[in-house]
Structure 1
Amino acid sequence: MKTYNLLYKQEGDVTRFVEEKGIEDTPRLLVQVFTGVPERRYIENLQRELEKLFNKAGVIGTSTGGEIFNGEVYENSTVLSFTVFERAWVKTALVEGADALRTGRELVGRILDEDTKLMIIFADGLNTNGDDLIDAINEEAQSVPVVGGLAGDNFTFKGTYVFTSRDVTDRGVVGASVNTDKLQISTHYNLAWVPVGKGMVVTRTAGNRIYEIEGKPVVEVYKSYLGAEAEELLPYVAIEFPLVLERDGVMLARACLGIAEDGSMLYTGVIKEGEKVRFSIWDTGVMLDSAAENLKKFRSNPSESVFVYTCLARKYLIGGEAEVESKHLQSVSPTSGFMTYGEFYNLDGKNRFMNYTFTAVSLSEREFTQNSEGQELEEEPGRDLIRFRALVSLVNTITGELKDANDKLERLAERDPLTGLYNRRKMIALLEEQIRRTERYGKSFCVLMVDIDNFKLINDTYGHQKGDEVLKGMAQALRELLRSTDLYSRWGGEEFLVVMPETEIEGGTAVAEKLRVGVRGFFNRKLGMDISVSVGLTAYRDGDCIEGLLSRADRAMYRAKKKGKNLVVVS
C-alpha cells in the first residue's frame, strides 16, 4: 500500500495530483477528505471534482477543526489523503439521521464484510451522540476496530458535515471498511489531561445532558470551581477544564458543547447518573512522554500509512504544541488526519468514544520492521513544566488530605461509635433511597426490627460494660448472619434495624428465622450467654412512607415480645 497526501488550494488540484501520481479509480483506493471550510457550498464544489474522478474508489470526508498534512497542523485548509492498497478493498456508505443508534446499525450493515479488518468512521459533531453511535457499532461488529471521529467546525458550533463524493449531511455518519485477508494495524492514544480536585457524583442526567452534580445545578458547580465570572464564558471556558471519569478501567474526558435553555449542559458523550467526575487540567509533560512512546511504537512495527484523529481542544489550548504529536510521525509514514469534536478508538478489544484524546492508527499490508533511525523526541522538561507538575501534585495532595479528613468525618457522622454500624440518621437516608428504587423499578424490600431480649436484666445483672459487650457482639452477629446485600444499623438502645433489598415477604421470613436462631448460637459460642432476639418483619407496600413502614415493623416486634420473646412476627 502507498499513501499520497495533497494540500488542496484550488479547483483542479485533485485532478492534477491524481494524474501526476498515477492514482487509479479502483475499489482498492481509499480517499479521505479533511476540510477546515465547514460550508455546504464549498463541499459540494469539491464533490463535483471528486465525482468526476472516482466512481469505484471509496471516498469519505469530514469538516474539521484543523487539518493534518504530512504531520503538520493547518487551519481553514483542505487535505486529501489517497491510500492505494495492494490487496485490500474499500466499501463506503453515508447514512443520514440524528438517531445514532439507528445510523450506527445501518452503517455497519452497509459496509461490514466478512474480511473487514478496520472501519474508519466520521459523524457530524453537533447532532450525533458519540456514545450511542459506538454502542450501536459494537452491537453489530465489536471485534472490528473503529477509528475516526466527530466532525468539527472550529468551535463555531454552527454546522458540521460528513460526506462522500456524492452525498453530504450535517446529521449523520459516513464510514469506510478496509477488507482484506491480512492487515497490520498499530494504534496509540493519550489523554494528557490530569484530574484535580475531588470526585463529584453526577446526580441527574438525560442522554448527553447533565442537569445536576452532587445535587446542585451543573452550571452552579462550574461557577463554584471556576469562578462566578466564568459563567459568562461558558461553554468555552469549560473546554479548558474537561470533566474526566473512569469507566471500565479507562479514563475518559467529556467535552461541553453548550448550555440548554433549561440550564442543562450538553456534552459530546454520555455521562451516566452515579458516575464520579473530576475537573482536569492539561499536562504537557504527559503529552510529550506519550508522543515519544507513540513514535517508538510505530517505528518498531510495520507502517506504510498513519492516520491521526485528535481532539480540537488540544489545538485550542496549546497551540503549536499540538503539532508535536503528529509531525514526528511523518518520519515513519505519510501522516494525515484532522482535529475532531470526539474520537473513536479501539482499546482493550472494545471500541470506545473518546474526547480530548490524541489517537493514531498505523497501517501496513507488508510484514516488515521499520528502521528505528530518525529524529527522536527529546523535549527536556522546562522550568514552567516542572512548576506545573509541582502545582498539580500540590493540588492533588491537598485534595487527597482533605478527602481523607472528610471521609473520617463522614464515618463519624454516619456510624454508631460503639458498634461501628450505621446510625439512625444514615439508615433513614438508605431507607429513603430504597423506597425511591422500589418506586422506580418495582422490586419490593423487607424490613426487620430486631430487639435483644431481656437487655435491661443483662445490664442490671452484669453491669453496663457487659451490656456494651453484648451490643458489640450483636453487631458482629449481624455481619456474620445476614446477606452481603442487606443493610443494617443500630437503631437505638438495644434495637437494630435491617433492610433487605429486592426481597419478598417469604424470603424475608427465611432470613429473619436464620437470624433469630443464629444469634442464640453466636452468643452461646462467643460469650457463653443465653441471649435471644425478638424480630418484627414487614414488607414495603405501595405508597408506604418511612414512618408507616417502621411503625408496622415496630408493632410486629412488640407482638413477638408479648408472645414470649425469641420469635419472628410478620406484619
Structure 2
Amino acid sequence: MIKSFQLIYHDEHSLSEFINKHDLDQHPHLLIQAFVGDSPIAVIEELQSQINRLLPYGTLIGCSSNGQVNDGRIVTEVVLSFTVFEKTKVDSLLQEKTDSSKQLGKRLYEEMRKPDTKVFIVFSSHLQLGVQEFLEGVSEEGNEIVIVGGVSSDLPNKRPTYVFTNHGISPDGFVTASLSHEELLVRSNAIEEWQEVGPTFNITKAKGNILEEMNDVKPIRILETYLGKRFVKDLPDSSIEFPFLLQELKKKMAVYIINVLPNGSVELSHEVRVGDKVSFGFVSVEDLIYSTTKLLSQLKRHPVEAHFVYHCVARRRYIRDVTDQELTYFNRISPVSGFFTYGEFGQRDDKVKLLAHSLTYLGLSEGVREPIRNMKVDFQLTPDSDVMMSLTHLINTAEKDIKELTQNIQISEEYYRSLFDNNTDFVYSTDLSGRFNSLNPSFIKTFGYTKEEILGKSALQFIREEDVGRVRRHFYRAMDGREQYYDLPIASKNGEVNFFQIKNIPITVDGKCVGIFGIGRNVTKERQFEKKITQLAYFDGETDLPNKMKFRELVDEHIERANKKKREMAVLFLDMDRFKIINDTLGHWAGDLIIKELALRIQGTLPKGAYLGRFSGDTFTVLLTKDVNESSISAITEDILKTIQAPFTYKGKEFYISVSIGVGIFPRDGEESTDLLRNADSALTWAKSKGGNNTVYFSKGMKEENTRKVEMEAHLRKAIEREELFVAFQPIIDISNQSLIGCESLLRWQHPLWGLISPAEFIPLAEETGLIYDIGKWVLVESCLQLKKWLDQQNAKFYISVNVSAQQFQHPTFHCDVKEALLLSGLQPEYLCLELTETIMLHDAAHTIEVMRSLAELGVKLAIDDFGTGYSSLSYLKHLPLHILKIDRSFVQNMSDHTPDVAIVQSIATMGKGLNMKVVAEGVETMEQLELLDQLGCDYAQGYLIERPMTLDNMNTYLKNLHLVTSQDS
C-alpha cells in the first residue's frame, strides 16, 4: 500500500510535528519531493539539514518552481510531498552538467536502472541544458521505464534556480528519483493538445536546434509580423503560448523557443532540418478538457493510491479555472501534488519527449482500490476560458464540411451545386430570420413537400411547439459562429415522425454571417437501437426493473436532492430466504416466474417516491425518498414480509417463501451511495444470520464487525504459512472401562495480536471464503502424521477423529485427499475417523452417499457429528456406511432424570446399537452425566470431565501419564 501526505513548509517545528503526526520516521521506503518556489540556496540547505536529521531514511529530490500543488490546490508557499511505500525501493541521483546531455541521460540509466525499476522522476534546473537530448539518452538505453517530471525554469540568468537531493544542490543539472519493485503498478499520461493556426512555413536554413531562417526570413521577423512585438519581447517564456508545430512522421509535435540569439535566430527545444515545415500552434482547450475527462474517468474505475502532476506554467496563467478543477478532481481520487514547469517530460508516441502546455501525470499503486462510484467529472468554464474556447472554434472554421457548404467563397458554383444536390442527407439554408431559401432534392424526398410549400416559410412552422425554444437557441448560437448539433423529431407531410440529427453552420461572407446552413440525417433506427442498448445496460431483462448500475445512479441522484432539501431517505436490501431450494426443486424456469411475481408483489406495497430494483439473483433493492422515518420504513417492511409470505402456486402446488430485509438510512448510515448500499447490505447479512424472515436496521457495530471480518480474512489467508494455526486434541474414552479409545482433532488459531480466536468465529469465515478446503486438508494431514507418531511410540491403540466441513466433503478431490494423507503418514485407514455433519446430506444426497461408500471401502471410519440437530432423514441412516453417531452436547448437558433429553439420548443409543454403530456423547462435564450415559447404553464419551482440548505438548504428557498408569496396572 502507498500513502501520500503533503505539507506547506514553514519551519523545523511544523515539519517535526507533521512527521510525528504521520509516523513518517517509521518507514524505510519514503520519497520526499520538495517544491521550494523561488527560495534562496540558504533556505534549501536548511531544509536539507532538517530532513536528513528528522528523516534519515527519506530520499529527497526537489527543485525551484513557479507555482506548487498542495492537496489539489495551487499555492505559493514551499510544499513538501511525502510518499510512503510498503515495498517499493527509492533511490536518488544528482547530475551536474559536465558532459553532453545525451551522455548524462545514458549514465543515469546505467547507474540507476535495476531489473525491477518502473519509474524515473526527473527535475531539470533550467531549459538550456539540452533537456530533450538528455531524455533521448535515457530512453535510448531502454524504453521500459516510465519517465516523468519537468523543468524548473526557462532561463538560468533570470533568477537562480536549483535542483537538489539529500546531500547536493545544483543550479545547472538534473535530479532523479527511481522507484523499483516488481509489484509497483504505474499509470502515466501526457495530455498535450494543439491545433494549427495561420500559414505553414518552410525551414530554409537551420543547424541542429538553431532555426536561422523560415521562408528565407529570420524567424524573429516572422514572429513579430504574425504574433506581435509583445510576443517577441517576452520570449522564450511566451513561446509556450504559440509554439511551432513541426511535421514529424505524419504527426505534429510542439517545438518551442528556449533562447533568442542576437542575429535574429532562435534556439528550439528540438532539432530541425532544412525542408521541414512548421506552423504556429495554439492550445485546444476543448480537446484538453476531453482528454483530461477521459483520464479522470479511467482513474475513477481504477483509482491509484498516490499520484503527481507536473503542469505547464502556461496552463496556470491562461486556463487557470480548468487547471484548478483538474487538480480538485485528481485530489478526490487520492492526494495530489506537483509543480508548474517550463517544460514537461512525458510519453508521446512511445518516446519520452519535452512537452509544452501539457499536463504530465504519474499514478502509483502497490495494491488495488475500489472504484470511485459517485464522482462526476464536469468542467465549468469561466468567461476567460469561454473566450479561449471561442478562439478555438474560430481557428477550426476551416473544417471540411464548412468549406464545402460555404463554397460560394471558396469553390466554384458548379462544385457547390453538385455537392448540394447529390448529398444523401437533406441540406437546406435559411436567412437570418430562419426562413428557407434553398433545399436539396433529398429534403423534398424526405418530407414529401414541394419547394413551393417550403421556400420562404419559417423553419419553426414545421416542428413541434415544444421544440421551438430549443431550436431557436441553437439557431442564434450558429449565428454567433458556433456549430450546433442536436436531435429533433420532425413529421413528414403524411404525418410520419422520424428522429433527425441536425447540424447548423453559419454562412459567412466577408467575415459576416449572412445565413445558416442546415444538414439533417435520419437517425431513427440508431436512436431506437441506443434505447434498446440502454434498456439492456440499465434494466433487468426478466423484470424490467432497474439493475444494479441503474439503481446506483438513482441513489446518487436522490442523495444530491436529499442533501439540498436536508431530507432523509432509505435503501432496503431484500433477499429471499432459501430461494435456491425453489430453483433446485422446481427448476430455473419456475424460479424466474416466481421472481417476476415477487417483483409485482413488492411493487404493490411501495408508496409514491419509492423505486424498486433487482440487484442480482433473488436480491431486490428499494429506494424510499418521501416521508422517511423508522416508523414509515417499518410499516413498509411489514407489508413486504406479509405479501411475500402468501403462498406461490406453480402447477397446482403451493410454495412458501420468506424474505430477509436490511435497511440503511441516509445520511446517518452513509452520505455517499457506496457507503449507504454497503451498509444496507451488511444489515441484510445480519438479518439472514438471525434466521431470516425479519428486518434489521444497520448499526455501527455491523460496520465494525464487517471490518473485522475483512481483516480476519486477510490474516487467515496467511495463517498456515505463518504457523499460527495448530491442532488441539481432546481424548474420547470407552465409558465401560474409562480407557482411551480415540481423540478428536480440533483446529485452533493463535493470532500474534488478537490472541486465541474462537473457532466459532473463524471457521464460518473460512467456509464463506472458500479457505476451508486448504485448511481442512492441512488439518487432515497433520492429524494423521501425529497419530502415526503416537501409535509408534505408545502401546495403546486409539483412533483420531477429524472434522470435515460440507464444502470440503463435496470437493471433487476429497477422496484423493484422504488417500494422500494416509499415504504420507503411513497411518492405517481404520485409525482415521472422519466426522461429518448432518447438513452434508442437504447438498447432493446421491453424491454424498457415493463418496461415503468409497471412503468406507478404503477402511476409514465415518461419524455423524452433532446428531439430532440437523435435517437428515432417519431413512438415510440404514443406507449409509456409518460407524459412529455423536450425540450433540446440548442433549447431554440438559440431562436429568426428569427431562426429555434423557429419552432422546436413550433413543439415539438404542438406534445406534440397532444399526451396529458406536455412540459417542459429547460435552460430558460431571460424573452424574457419565454414570447416566453408561446406564442409557452410550459407548464412548468426551468432554471437560475427561479432558479439555489440549495442545500437542499437553497431549504428549497425557499419553505418557496414561502409559505409566497402564504399565503399573499391568
TM-score by length of 1: 0.65
Q: How many matched pairs?
A: 402
What's the CA shift for 1:303?
Answer: 0.3
SS of corresponding position for 1:24: helix
- Partner residue, 1:465: none
Amino acid of the structure 2 residue aligned with 1:97:
K
CA distance in 2, matches of 1:37, 1:225: 34
In 2 relative to 1, CA 230–96 (structure 1 residues): closer, same or farther, beyond 3 Å? Answer: closer
CA distance in 2, matches of 1:156, 1:322: 28
Establish whether residue 252 from structure 1 lines up as the match of residue 253 from structure 2. Answer: yes
Contact 1:6 1:81 survives alignment (8 Å):
yes
- Partner residue, 1:91: 91
- Partner residue, 1:106: 107
CA distance in 1, matches of 2:222, 2:51: 48
What's the CA shift for 1:319?
Answer: 3.3
- Partner residue, 1:152: 153
SS of corresponding position for 1:105: helix
Matches within 5 A, 1:198-213: 198-213=199-214
Amino acid of the structure 2 residue aligned with 1:267:
L
In 2 relative to 1, CA 280–349 (structure 1 residues): closer, same or farther, beyond 3 Å? Answer: closer
What's the CA shift for 1:209?
Answer: 2.7
- Partner residue, 2:190: 189
What's the CA shift for 1:257?
Answer: 2.9
Matches within 5 A, 1:302-381: 302-379=303-380
In 2 relative to 1, CA 399–230 (structure 1 residues): closer, same or farther, beyond 3 Å? Answer: farther
What's the CA shift for 1:272?
Answer: 4.3
Amino acid of the structure 2 residue aligned with 1:127:
Q
Matches within 5 A, 1:109-148: 109-148=110-149
CA distance in 2, matches of 1:17, 1:139: 41
- Partner residue, 1:413: none
CA distance in 2, matches of 1:21, 1:228: 52
Matches within 5 A, 1:36-51: 36-51=37-52
CA distance in 1, matches of 2:155, 2:353: 23
In 2 relative to 1, CA 326–47 (structure 1 residues): closer, same or farther, beyond 3 Å? Answer: same
- Partner residue, 1:389: 392
Matches within 5 A, 1:392-407: 392-394=395-397
- Partner residue, 1:220: 221
Q: Deviations over 1:45-64 (max 9, x none)?
A: 22121221233332111111
- Partner residue, 1:467: none
In 2 relative to 1, CA 45–308 (structure 1 residues): closer, same or farther, beyond 3 Å? Answer: same
Matches within 5 A, 1:233-252: 233-248=234-249, 251-252=252-253
For structure 1, the 5+ residue unaligned runs are: 409-571
User: After alignment, is 109-118 or 390-399 more displaced?
Assistant: 390-399
Q: Give RMSD over aligned pairs.
A: 2.9
Amino acid of the structure 1 residue aligned with 2:112:
I
Q: Deviations over 1:395-443 (max 9, x none)?
A: 6779999xx9xxx9xxxxxxxxxxxxxxxxxxxxxxxxxxxxxxxxxxx
Amino acid of the structure 2 residue aligned with 1:292:
T
Matches within 5 A, 1:480-499: none
SS of corresponding position for 1:12: helix
SS of corresponding position for 1:330: helix
What's the CA shift for 1:376?
Answer: 2.2
Contact 1:200 1:276 survives alignment (8 Å):
yes
CA distance in 2, matches of 1:74, 1:318: 16
In 2 relative to 1, CA 231–90 (structure 1 residues): closer, same or farther, beyond 3 Å? Answer: closer
CA distance in 2, matches of 1:397, 1:224: 28
- Partner residue, 2:72: 71
In 2 relative to 1, CA 56–11 (structure 1 residues): closer, same or farther, beyond 3 Å? Answer: closer
In 2 relative to 1, CA 222–397 (structure 1 residues): closer, same or farther, beyond 3 Å? Answer: farther
CA distance in 1, matches of 2:237, 2:369: 45
CA distance in 2, matches of 1:96, 1:353: 19
SS of corresponding position for 2:222: helix
Larger RCO, structure (CA 8 Å, separation 6 or more): 1
Amino acid of the structure 1 residue aligned with 2:68:
E
Identity %: 27
In 2 relative to 1, CA 155–93 (structure 1 residues): closer, same or farther, beyond 3 Å? Answer: closer
Specify the structure having the higher radius of gyration (Cα): 2
- Partner residue, 2:759: none
In 2 relative to 1, CA 233–61 (structure 1 residues): closer, same or farther, beyond 3 Å? Answer: closer
Contact 2:321 2:381 survives alignment (8 Å):
no
Q: Deviations over 1:159-182 (max 9, x none)?
A: 321110210111111111111011
What's the CA shift for 1:307?
Answer: 0.5
- Partner residue, 1:427: none
Contact 2:283 2:357 survives alignment (8 Å):
no
Contact 2:240 2:357 survives alignment (8 Å):
no
Q: Deviations over 1:521-550 (max 9, x none)?
A: xxxxxxxxxxxxxxxxxxxxxxxxxxxxxx
Establish whether residue 15 from structure 1 lines up as the match of residue 19 from structure 2. Answer: no
CA distance in 2, matches of 1:207, 1:25: 50
SS of corresponding position for 2:25: coil
CA distance in 2, matches of 1:151, 1:229: 24
Amino acid of the structure 2 residue aligned with 1:346:
Q
In 2 relative to 1, CA 163–278 (structure 1 residues): closer, same or farther, beyond 3 Å? Answer: same
What's the CA shift for 1:327?
Answer: 2.0
CA distance in 1, matches of 2:49, 2:5: 21
- Partner residue, 2:170: 169
Q: Deviations over 1:216-258 (max 9, x none)?
A: 2110110221235654444444332111224356543233233
For structure 2, the 5+ residue unaligned runs are: 412-970
Contact 1:3 1:305 survives alignment (8 Å):
yes
What's the CA shift for 1:337?
Answer: 0.6
CA distance in 2, matches of 1:233, 1:111: 38
Q: Deviations over 1:245-278 (max 9, x none)?
A: 2435654323323312232223344444443221
CA distance in 1, matches of 2:97, 2:54: 28
In 2 relative to 1, CA 52–339 (structure 1 residues): closer, same or farther, beyond 3 Å? Answer: same
In 2 relative to 1, CA 380–265 (structure 1 residues): closer, same or farther, beyond 3 Å? Answer: closer
What's the CA shift for 1:349?
Answer: 3.6
Amino acid of the structure 2 residue aligned with 1:118:
V
Contact 1:254 1:356 survives alignment (8 Å):
no
CA distance in 1, matches of 2:182, 2:111: 19
- Partner residue, 2:81: 81
In 2 relative to 1, CA 387–140 (structure 1 residues): closer, same or farther, beyond 3 Å? Answer: closer
CA distance in 2, matches of 1:59, 1:133: 21
In 2 relative to 1, CA 22–127 (structure 1 residues): closer, same or farther, beyond 3 Å? Answer: same
